[in-house]
Amino acid sequence: MYIELIPKIFSETSTIIGKDRYLNSAVLIPVIMTEGREYLLFEKRSVSVRQPGEISFPGGHFDNTLDSDFMDTAIRETVEELGIQKNKITILGKLGTLVTPMGIIVETFVCKLDISSLEELNYDKKEVDKLFLVPLDFFINSEPEIYENQLQLHPYIVDENGEKIDLLPVKALGLPERYANPWKKGKHRVLVYRYENEIIWGITAELIFELVNRLRKLSE
């Protein structure tokens, strides 16, 4: 069973320089056992929240008035979003930290939910449109589609009046001329999994990819 390998794949704690300048969040990757098979649980986001209709794991932003650490964040958000009791969440370990090109830091944990059916969950319908399960071995045996985004850095913006506003005063600072215009930051990988009628992509797909690759190595 893969669930027995999960506690062996977690990374040690590391420090990210300048972490406080970024958007700090935490998610839980929930694993449930039903009829002797392992599943990952996903949320489809409600139309009333940010990024409506997208597939995600439960989680949210770190709140220093409520959370003592990022595990607290992940558990708190999971309890709120799934409508599950805290004592039914067993943390298996920390997968690691994902830093996205858009400046979002995602502290990622994996847990086992002590439920056998989604019917046991009273999920928050304001935030979640629906919940669904995907067999863990689907991801173990499937490779994601790979696409790319082109990223650029812009040293200035043009406001609504057509006026150019320097964000980085290249000439005044005596920086090389090439930084006075937008320059490429490189291409960013975008992973996509297709399961039935759902598209699982972006951050969620990256976390799945990391999880299953570690499990594959341990199960070889």
Query: Residue 89 corresponds to which amino acid?
Result: I
Continuous H helices in 83-155: 136-140
Compute the distance between CA of residue 63 and CA of residue 18 in angstroms, rounded to an integer: 18
Instruction: Specify the range with the lowest mean pLDDT, choosing from 10-19, 65-74, 104-113, 116-125.
Output: 10-19
Q: What is the mean pLDDT of residues 121-131?
A: 91
Query: Mean pLDDT score of the chain, rounded to an integer?
Result: 90
pTM: 0.87
Q: What's the pLDDT score for residue 8?
A: 78
Q: What is the mean pLDDT of residues 193-215?
A: 96
The full set of domain ranges for the chain reads 2-143+194-219, 148-185
Compute the distance between CA of residue 198 and CA of residue 51 in angstroms, rounded to an integer: 15
CATH annotation of 2-143+194-219? 3.90.79.10
Confidence of residue 184 (pLDDT cuts 50, 70, 90): confident
- Please name the helix (run of DSSP H) or strand (run of DSSP E) that holds residue 135, with its range, or none: strand 128-135
* Closest-CA residue to 134 (of 79, 83, 59, 204): 204
Confidence of residue 78 (pLDDT cuts 50, 70, 90): very high
Compute the distance between CA of residue 198 and CA of residue 130 in angstroms, rounded to an integer: 12
Q: What's the pLDDT score for residue 4?
A: 85
Confidence of residue 14 (pLDDT cuts 50, 70, 90): low
171's tokens: 């000439």
Question: Of the spans 121-130, 133-142, 182-191, which averages the highest pLDDT?
Answer: 133-142
* Closest-CA residue to 131 (of 80, 192, 82): 82
**In 3-state terms, what secondary structure has residue 80?**
helix
Beta strand 104-113 with 23-34: parallel, antiparallel or unpaired? Answer: parallel
